[in-house]
Homo-oligomer: A and B are copies of this chain.
Amino acid sequence: MGYSIQPADGKLGILIPGLGAVATTFIAGVAAINKGISKPVGSLTQMGNIRLGKRTENRYPLIKDFVPLTNLKDIVFGGWDVYEDNVFEAASNAKVLEPMLLHAVKEELETIKPMKAVFDKNFIKNLDGTHIKEQTHRRELANAVLEDIAQFKETNNCDRLVMVWCGSTEKYIEHCEIFESIDAFENALDADDRRISPSMIYAYAAIKSRVPFANGAPNLTVDIPALVELAQQLEVPIAGKDFKTGQTLMKTIVAPGLAARALGVKGWFSSNILGNRDGLVLDDPENFKTKEVSKLSVLEEILNADINPELYQELYHKVRINYYPPHGDNKESWDNIDIFGWLGYPMQIKINFLCRDSILAAPIVLDLALFLDLAHRAGMSGIQEWLSFYLKSPQTAPGLKPEHDIFKQLIKLQNTLRHIMGEDLITHLGLDYYQELVDNL
Residues of A within 8 A of B (CB): 25, 29, 32-33, 38-44, 46-49, 55-56, 60, 97, 101, 228-229, 232, 249-250, 252-254, 256-258, 260-264, 266-267, 269, 271, 273, 304, 307-308, 310-311, 314, 316, 318, 320, 322, 324-327, 332, 334, 336, 338, 340-345, 347-356, 359-360, 362-363, 382-383, 385, 389, 397-400, 403, 406-408, 410-412, 415-416, 419, 425-431, 434, 437-438, 441
Given known pairs A341-B41, A354-B349, the reply for A419 and B397 (CB within 8 Å) is no
Given known pairs A318-B322, A360-B342, the reply for A416 and B400 (CB within 8 Å) is no
CB-nearest residue of chain B to A323: B318
Could you give 18 example pairs across A and B, Cβ below 8 Å?
Answer: A38-B343, A39-B310, A40-B343, A49-B308, A60-B307, A232-B441, A267-B325, A269-B324, A318-B324, A320-B322, A345-B359, A347-B353, A347-B356, A349-B351, A349-B352, A350-B354, A400-B437, A412-B429
Q: How far is the CB of A264 from chain B (nearest CB, A)?
A: 5
A142 to B402 CA separation, bound complex (whole angstroms): 56
A47 to B342 CA separation, bound complex (whole angstroms): 11
Measured between beta carbons, the chain B residues less than 8 angstroms from A407 are 256-257, 260, 407
Given known pairs A324-B267, A397-B437, A434-B385, the reply for A41 and B340 (CB within 8 Å) is yes
Measured between beta carbons, the chain B residues less than 8 angstroms from A43 are 262, 342
Tell whether, in the assembled complex, residue A350 and residue B347 are in contact, meaning their CB atoms are under 8 Å apart.
no
Tell whether, in the assembled complex, residue B338 and residue A359 are in contact, meaning their CB atoms are under 8 Å apart.
no
Tell whether, in the assembled complex, residue A349 and residue B263 are in contact, meaning their CB atoms are under 8 Å apart.
no
Q: How far is the CB of A320 from chain B (nearest CB, A)?
A: 6
Given known pairs A41-B264, A44-B262, A324-B318, the reply for A351 and B351 (CB within 8 Å) is yes
Measured between beta carbons, the chain B residues less than 8 angstroms from A326 are 266-267, 314, 316, 338
A73 to B271 CA separation, bound complex (whole angstroms): 44
Measured between beta carbons, the chain B residues less than 8 angstroms from A356 are 341, 345, 347
Q: How far is the CB of A369 from chain B (nearest CB, A)?
A: 14
Tell whether, in the assembled complex, residue A311 and residue B347 are in contact, meaning their CB atoms are under 8 Å apart.
no
